[in-house]
Structure 1
C-alpha cells in the first residue's frame, strides 16, 4: 500500500499553473499531491480574458473545471490547506501545513503566485481586479475608449501609457507625487495628449468595485471608467526562500527556461516566477514545469 504522506511530487499551489503541472504529471502516472489554500490572487476578478477557449469566463469556473479534470487522474491527490514550511531531506523534501500535516516528495513545484501590496487609498482594494486593474492584455479591451487613468510614475508609467494609449485616447497619468520624467519623456506624453496629475489620491469612489471617481487630496474629484495601477508585490509563499531559492531583482523566483529554480529538485511556475501575469502564461509554464519534473524523475532511473 502506498504511504499517503509520501509522493513523487508535491505541488504547492492549486490554481492554474499548479493544476496544469499536475495534469502533465498525472498523465505520466506520477504520484502527485497538490496542496492549496483556496485563495487565488484573482478571486475578486469577475471575468478572465485573453485565454483561448475560456475568454470571458469567471476565473473560479476555469479553476473548478481544471481541478475536476486533473483529479480524474487517479495518481493525483488534492489537499486543502496552507503550506507553511519546507525542509530538505535525505531523499527529497518535506512540506508541513498550518494544520501540522507533513508530506514528503522527491521533487517540489511551487505554483504559489504573488501577493499584491495594496496602497492605503480608501476604495482601492475593493476595486482591485474589477476596475482598478494591472494588465491591458487581461482587461484593456473591456475598457477600450473609456476615460482611463494610470496610477504610476517613471518608466513603468511610460510603459503602461504606450500600451493603454492604443486602447483609449482619453488618458491621464496619476503620479502620486512629483513626476520622474525627463524632458524627452514629458514631450512624448504631451505629443500623445496624455495629461499628468501629481497630486496624491485620498479615495476611490466606486459602486461594487466599479470606479466612479478618484478623489485627490486637494479636493478635486475626477471621473474615470478604469484605473491601471502599478503596485508592488511580494511572494505569496516564503517556503522557496526558506529552501534557498534565489529571487530576481524584481522579486520573482529565479527560474530557467525549463522552470527550474536555483535549488536542485525545486521548480516554480506561474506568477511567482514570471512578469507575465495571465491565466494563459500560468497554464503554459505549469505544463512545462510538470513535463520537466517528469523528465528529471525519468533520468534518475532510466
Structure 2
C-alpha cells in the first residue's frame, strides 16, 4: 500500500463506492477503507435502487467492487480506520489504519461511515431484524402491504412513522411502551384507525423463523406480520467529531449539499449526514462529494502549477 493518496474514503457502502468510482475516473489516487461492517448487513434485499431492485446488499457490493477494480487509481482495503488528524493548512490528513503503524497521508478525507441503529431491548428481535422487523417503510413496506403491521417507538417520531406506514397497511398498531402521546396525536391516530398499545413490548413471537405476534408486559399478545422500529441512531464512527465536525439537533453531521463540512478538506456522504436514508440517495451523495473534492483538488493543483 502506498503512503500518499489524493483521497482516503472511510466506508465501503453505496456512498463510499460511488465516490471512489467518480474519483477514479478523474484519475485520482483513491484508498477506499471498508471495515466490513455495514448498516444493511442484516437486510435480505435492497429496494428503491433503479436497475438493482431487490438485490442482496452483499451482491451489490460485489458488483460495485468489480467495477472499481477496472480503475488502477483505486485501491479497496478491507481495513478499519482508527484515527485521523489534520496535518496541514491545505486540507490534508494523516489517517491511521488498523494493524498499520505508520499513517497514510491524504490530501482530502471523505467519511461515508453511516449510522448505527440502537435496537430496543426486546426478546426475539435480533433473530427477526432484517426479515420481519425493519426501520424503513420505503425500503421494506411494499413486501408486507395490506398485512397486519405495527410500529414501535416513542414521541412524535413514532407517530410520524405510524402515519407513513399506514400508506402500506390500514391494519396498523402503534406500540409506545407507555411514553407520552399528546392528545392531538391520539385523536389523529384514532381517526385514521391506527390502534395504540401502551403496555411495554417485551417479546416477539416467531414461528419457523417468521414473526407471528407481539407480546406485551401485561401478558397480552397481538398477531402481526411485520414491525417497523422508530429508534435512536448515532454516528457509526467518531472520527468526524474528533476532527471538529458539528452535529445537527438530530445527531447528524452538519454538511453542505456537496458534503463539505466545517473542517477544511473533510467531506461526508451517506446516512451520517442530513438527507434521506436510502442507498440510492447515499450513492448520489457520494458522487456529489467526489465532484466537489476533485474540484477542490484541481484548484489546489492549478495554483501550485502557477506558483511553480
TM range (shorter): over 0.9
User: Secondary structure at 1:188's aligned position in 2?
Assistant: helix
Alpha-carbon distance between aligned partners in 2 of 1:186 and 1:123, rounded to the nearest angstrom = 29
TM-score, length of structure 2 as denominator length = 0.93
- TM-aligned CA distance change 1:207 to 1:60, over 3 Å: farther
User: Secondary structure at 2:272's aligned position in 1?
Assistant: helix
Alpha-carbon distance between aligned partners in 2 of 1:222 and 1:73, rounded to the nearest angstrom = 53
Moved more, 221-230 or 82-91: 82-91
2:116 aligns with 115
Moved more, 43-52 or 98-107: 98-107
Unaligned stretches of 5+ residues in structure 1:
none
1:80-110 superposed Cα distances (whole Å, 9 cap, x missing partner): 1111111111261011122134211010000
Give the C-alpha shift of residue 209 in structure 1. 5.5
1:87 aligns with 85
Give the C-alpha shift of residue 128 in structure 1. 2.0
Alpha-carbon distance between aligned partners in 1 of 2:181 and 2:108, rounded to the nearest angstrom = 45
Which of 68, 71, 74 is the matching residue for 1:73? Answer: 71
The correspondence of residues 16-27 of structure 1 with structure 2, limited to 5 A, is 16-27=14-25
Kept in 2: contact 1:126–1:208 (CA 8 A):
no
1:98-147 superposed Cα distances (whole Å, 9 cap, x missing partner): 21342110100000011111211112222222211111111111110010
Give the C-alpha shift of residue 211 in structure 1. 1.6
Give the C-alpha shift of residue 207 in structure 1. 4.7
Kept in 1: contact 2:155–2:179 (CA 8 A):
no
Alpha-carbon distance between aligned partners in 1 of 2:299 and 2:267, rounded to the nearest angstrom = 16
Kept in 2: contact 1:11–1:111 (CA 8 A):
yes
- TM-aligned CA distance change 1:209 to 1:97, over 3 Å: farther
Give the C-alpha shift of residue 188 in structure 1. 1.4
The correspondence of residues 153-164 of structure 1 with structure 2, limited to 5 A, is 153-164=154-165
The correspondence of residues 245-264 of structure 1 with structure 2, limited to 5 A, is 245-264=245-264
2:149 aligns with 148
The correspondence of residues 242-281 of structure 1 with structure 2, limited to 5 A, is 242-281=242-281
Unaligned stretches of 5+ residues in structure 2:
303-308
User: Secondary structure at 1:273's aligned position in 2?
Assistant: coil
2:216 aligns with 216
2:305 aligns with none
Alpha-carbon distance between aligned partners in 1 of 2:114 and 2:208, rounded to the nearest angstrom = 26
Alpha-carbon distance between aligned partners in 2 of 1:207 and 1:256, rounded to the nearest angstrom = 47
Kept in 2: contact 1:128–1:209 (CA 8 A):
no
Alpha-carbon distance between aligned partners in 2 of 1:266 and 1:197, rounded to the nearest angstrom = 45
Structure 1 position 57 matched with structure 2 position 58: no
CA RMSD of aligned residues (A): 1.4
Give the C-alpha shift of residue 256 in structure 1. 0.6
Moved more, 126-135 or 217-226: 126-135
User: Secondary structure at 1:24's aligned position in 2?
Assistant: helix
Alpha-carbon distance between aligned partners in 1 of 2:274 and 2:47, rounded to the nearest angstrom = 18
Alpha-carbon distance between aligned partners in 2 of 1:121 and 1:157, rounded to the nearest angstrom = 17
TM-score, length of structure 1 as denominator length = 0.95
